[in-house]
Amino acid sequence: MKVLIGLSLLSFVAPSLAFPAAQNYARNDAAHQHPLHIQLKPKNTATRELVSLDGLWDFALAQEGNDTATPWTSRLPKGLEIPVPASYNDIFIDRKIHDHVGWVYYQREVIVPRGWSDERYLIRIEAATHEGRIYVNDELVAEHVGGYTPFEADITSLVSAGEKFRLTIAVNNELTHETIPPGNIEITEFTGKRVQRYQHDFYNYAGLARSVWLYSVPREQYIRDVVAVTGVDGAAGLINYTVTTSEGTTGDIRITVLDEDGTTVAEASGAHGIARINSVKLWQPGAAYLYQFVVDIVDSDTVIDTYSVAVGIRTVKVSGRQFLINDKPFYFTGFGKHEDSAIRGKGHDQAYLVHDFQLLDWIGANSFRTSHYPYAEEVMEFADRHGIVVIDETPAVGLAYSIGGGVSGGDPPPTFSPEGINNNTRRAHAQAIRELIARDKNHASVVMWSIANEPASNEEGAREYFAPLAQVARDADPAHRPVVFVNLGLATYKVDRITDLFDLICLNRYFGWYSETGDLEEAEAALEEELKGWEKKFEKPIIFTEYGADTMAGLHSVFALPWSEEYQTEFLDMYHRVFDRHDSVIGEQVWNFADFQTNMGINRVDGNKKGVFTRDRKPKASAHNLRARWRKLIGVE
Ligand code: BDP
C-alpha cells in the first residue's frame, strides 16, 4: 500500500479499478444550460402570492434498470407517501429504496388558486438531487441537471386559475464521470446489479430535499432579478444595483431602501444605478445589519410588481496576507459543515437550522463552509441575518482519482482524461459555478466562492481544467468576491499546479490522522514543514478549511489514543499551536461540525465521526476546548 502524506483515506473504493463505462444516459443539454427565467426566491409580496407544496406526496421508484426516465403519464401506484422536503433514502424500511440507482417519482395534485386568472404562475423546485424533471399532467415542462440549485417551470399556459392538475417530479440520483459531483455506475460481477460509486465522503442522498413552491408574479410586467453590489464611501453606504425585468415591462423602476426600523434611507430610479445611504450601518461579522432593497415596477402611479432583497453593506478584500471585512482583518473560526441529519438525510429542516446556528454561536464559530455543495437558500438567509460568514462551495467534490488509487494500492488512473474528468465535466462544472453565484450573489454572509473541494490539482491537466473555471467564477460575480479552491493533502506546495490562479490558499490537512496516525509530535513537525512551504512560495492568506480526527463519542483513553475524545482534543490543540505561530494563517475551520452519514465501507462505522458534535448535535469533549479558544479569539469573552 502506498503511503500518502496527509491524505484523507475515504470510505469508498473509487474507480481504482476502471474508469466508468460511458453511460447511455440521455441529457437534454439545452434544458440544463438555461438559467432560471426568474432568479429571485419566491416570496409573498403585495403583488406575488406563494403556495407551499411541501407535505406528503405519493412516491414510487422507476422500473428497475431504466437508463432514461419513462415519462410518467398516469397516477402513481397507491402505497408510498413521502415527506417533502427530505431525502428519500432513509425514510422507508426498504433496502431497495435506500440503495436505488436511477429515477424516482414524486406526485401530488395541485390547484391553481382561482384568484390568479390575471397572473403568471410557476413551479419552483429548490433542489432535485441530482437531476429533475417537472411534468404537468402528462407533459414534460422542465428539466434540470445539478442537484443543489433551483429550477422552475412557467405553467401559466398549461393550467387555468381554479383548475386542478397532477404534478409529477422525476428525480434521478445517478452520477457519471461527466456530472458534478462525478461518480460512476458499476455493474456487479455476479448479480449484475447497478451500484453507484463515487469519490466523495458523504452519502449520496437524493430526492426533493428542499421546498417546492407554486407562486405567482404579475402576468406581463415583473421583476426577474436584482443584483446589489455594496460599497462604502466615507460614512455613506453604496448599493450599485441592476434590476432585470420581463421583456414586456414598460413601467418605471423605483427603488426604496429601508433600514431595520422601516425608515426610508435612500431612493433611486431606473434599472441601473446607485442608491446612497448617508450614515450607513455596516453588516459586520457577529453584528448583522440588513437593509431592505425594495424594487417596484410602477405604471401610471400603480405598483405593478414589488420585491425586496435583504442587503448587508460590507466590503471584502484580500490584501497581502490578510482577509479584510470592512477593511478590518478577519480571522475565521468555525467548521466545514454538511446538510445531514438522521432520517431526513439532506432534507432541509428548520429545527436543525436554528439549532445548528445556536451551537455555532455557543462555540464561538464566526463562519462555516458549505462543504461540499450549495446549501438551502434559507441557510444563507439565516447566515445573513445572524452575521455568520460563509465560504460558499459548489458541488465539485471528488475530482481526484488518486485517492481511490491510494486506498486500493493500485496505480490510479489519471483524473483529467477523456474517460475521466473531461470537457463535458468541465461544462457541467462551469454551469454549477454560474448557478451557485446567480443564486447567492446578494448574500452579505458570502465572502468568497470555493469552486472545488480537493481536486487533483497536482495532476497533469489540472491547470487546463481549472484556469477557465476560475475565470467563470470571476466573470459571474458582479461583486468580485475572492475565488478559491480547497487543496487536497496530496497536492502539497511542491506539486500543486493551480494555486496562483486563486486569491487565498485553503488547505485540508490530516497529519496525525491519515498519516502520522496517533503521533502528534511527528504530525506537528510535518504540519509545520508544510505550512512553511506554502508561506515561502505564495504571498497569500491561508485558511485551514479542514483538519480533524474521527472520534467515537464516549470513547476515552488516558493515552489519548486515536478515536478517543481525548485524542480529538489534543489533535486540535496541536493544530492551533501551529496556527498561532504563523501570521499567514487567517482561519481555522474544523472538519466537521457534526458526525455525518457516508457510504458504509471498511473505513466508516455509521458514517464519518469527525464531528465536534455528534449527529444529534451533542458536544464531544473537544467542543469545550474549542469554545474557550474561539470565544477569546472572536472577542466575546
Ligand atoms: C477530506 C474531504 C472530506 C472528508 C474528509 C475525511 O474533503 O469530505 O470527509 O477528508 O476524510 O478529504 O474525513
What was the pLDDT predicted at 4?
33
Ligand 1 atom closest to the Cα of residue 11 is: 11
What are 271-291's pLDDT values in tens digits?
A: 999 999 999 999 999 999 999
Burial 588-625 (b: 16+ CB within 10 A, else e): bbbbbbbbbbbbeeebbeebbbbbbbbbebebbbbbeb
Q: Is 453 in the pocket of ligand 1 (CB under 6 A)?
A: yes
Q: Which amino acid appears at position 558 of this protein?
A: V
> Which residue is closest in CA terms to ligand 1's atom 3?
201
Length of the chain: 637
Q: Which pLDDT value is given to residue 430?
A: 98
Dist CA 367 CA 588 (whole Å): 9
Atom in ligand 1 nearest the alpha carbon of residue 510: 10
Ligand 1, atom 12: closest residue by C-alpha: 8
CA of 442 to the centre of ligand 1 (A): 29
* Strands laid side by side in the 81-84 sheet: 81-84, 55-61, 103-111, 164-172, 131-136, 139-145
Q: Residue 201 C-alpha to ligand 1 middle, in angstroms?
A: 6
Q: Are 402 and 490 in contact (CB under 8 A)?
A: yes
* Residue 454 in contact with ligand 1 by CB distance below 6 A: yes
Cβ(546) – ligand 1 distance below 6 Å: yes
Residue 77 has what DSSP assignment? P
Ligand 1 pocket mutation pick from 4, 5, 10 by most atoms within 8 angstroms of CB: 10
Q: Is the minimum distance from the CB of 151 to ligand 1 under 6 angstroms?
A: no
8 within ligand 1 shell (Cβ under 6 A): yes
Say if ligand 1 is within 6 A of residue 549 CB: no
Ligand 1 centre distance from Cα of residue 376 (Å): 21
Taking the centre of ligand 1 as the mean of its atom positions, its distance from the CA of residue 310, in whole angstroms, is 34
For the chain, the distance separating the N- and C-terminal CA atoms, rounded to the nearest angstrom, is 48
Q: Counting atoms of ligand 1 from 1, which one is nearest the CA of 488?
A: 12
The answer, yes or no, to whether any atom of ligand 1 lies below 6 A from the CB of 598, is no
- Ligand 1 centroid, distance to 395 Cα (angstroms): 14
List 454, 516, 530, 535, catalytic entry:
454
Our answer on whether the CB atom of 610 is closer than 6 Å to any ligand 1 atom is yes
**Atom 1 (ligand 1): residue with closest C-alpha?**
8
Q: How far is the CA of 510 from the centre of ligand 1 (A)?
A: 9
Smallest CA separation from ligand 1 atom 11, residue: 8
Ligand 1 center to residue 397 CA distance, Å? Answer: 10
Write the residue with the smallest CA distance to atom 10 of ligand 1.
8
Residue for cell digits 495532476? 459
| 487 in contact with ligand 1, CB cutoff 6 A | no
Burial bucket for residue 536 (CB in 10 Å: 0-12, 13-18, 19+): exposed
The minimum-distance atom of ligand 1 relative to the CA of 548 is 13
The Å distance, Cα 226 to ligand 1 centre, comes to 36
Q: Which of 392, 70, 62, 24 is nearest to 178 (CA)?
A: 24
| 610 CA from centroid of ligand 1 (Å) | 9
**Cell matching residue 196:** 453507484
How far is residue 400's CA from residue 103's CA, in Å, rounded to a whole number?
A: 27
Q: Is the CB of 608 under 6 A from ligand 1?
A: yes
The strand ranges marked E within 512-636 are: 542-546, 585-591
Cα 476 from Cα 509, distance rounded (Å): 30
Position 404 scores a pLDDT of: 57
Domains of the chain: 36-218 (2.60.120.260), 223-311 (2.60.40.10), 329-397+426-633 (3.20.20.80)
Q: 201 in ligand 1 pocket by Cβ < 6 Å?
A: yes
* pLDDT value, residue 410: 65
Burial class (CB in 10 A: 0-12, 13-18, 19+), 163: exposed
CB atoms near residue 419 (< 10 Å): 14
**Which of the residues 546, 565, 566, 588 is marked catalytic?**
546
pLDDT in the model for residue 22: 26
Note the pLDDT of residue 68: 56
* Separation CA 323–CA 319 (nearest Å): 6
Q: Please indicate whether residue 591, judged by its CB atom, sits closer than 6 Å to ligand 1.
A: yes
Q: How many other C-beta atoms lie within 10 A of the C-beta of residue 210?
A: 24
Best of 391, 508, 590, 599 to mutate for ligand 1, by most ligand atoms within 8 A of CB? Answer: 508
Q: What is the mean pLDDT of each run of 10 residues along the chain (637 residues)?
A: 32 28 32 72 98 97 65 84 98 97 96 98 98 94 97 97 97 97 96 94 98 98 98 98 96 98 98 98 98 97 98 98 98 98 98 98 98 98 98 98 60 93 98 98 98 98 98 98 98 98 98 98 98 98 98 98 98 98 98 96 92 98 98 92
| Residue/partner pairs of 153-158 with CB below 8 Å, 24 or more apart | 153/122, 153/123, 154/37, 154/120, 154/121, 154/122, 155/112, 155/121, 155/122, 155/123, 156/119, 156/120, 156/121, 156/122, 156/219
419 is catalytic: no
CA of 299 to the centre of ligand 1 (A): 54
Summarised one tens digit per residue, pLDDT across range 488-537 is 999 999 999 999 999 999 999 999 999 999 999 999 999 999 999 999 99
Would you call 521 a catalytic residue per the annotation? no
Instruction: Count CA atoms closer than 13 A to 490's CA, side-chain side.
Output: 22
Say yes or no: CB of residue 340 within 6 Å of ligand 1. no
Determine whether the shortest distance from the Cβ of 402 to ligand 1 is under 6 A.
Answer: no
Residue 597 Cβ inside 6 Å of ligand 1? The answer reads no
Nearest CA to ligand 1 atom 9: 201
- The protein residue with its alpha carbon nearest to ligand 1, atom 4, reads 201
* Ligand 1 centroid, distance to 10 Cα (angstroms): 7
Cis status, amide bond into 85, omega within 30 of 0: yes
Q: Which atom of ligand 1 is nearest to the CA of 608?
A: 13
Ligand 1 pocket, 508 CB below 6 A? yes
Q: What is the per-residue pLDDT for 12?
A: 30
Q: How far, in Å, from the CA of 622 to the mean position of ligand 1?
A: 19
Cis peptide before 177 (omega within 30 of 0): no
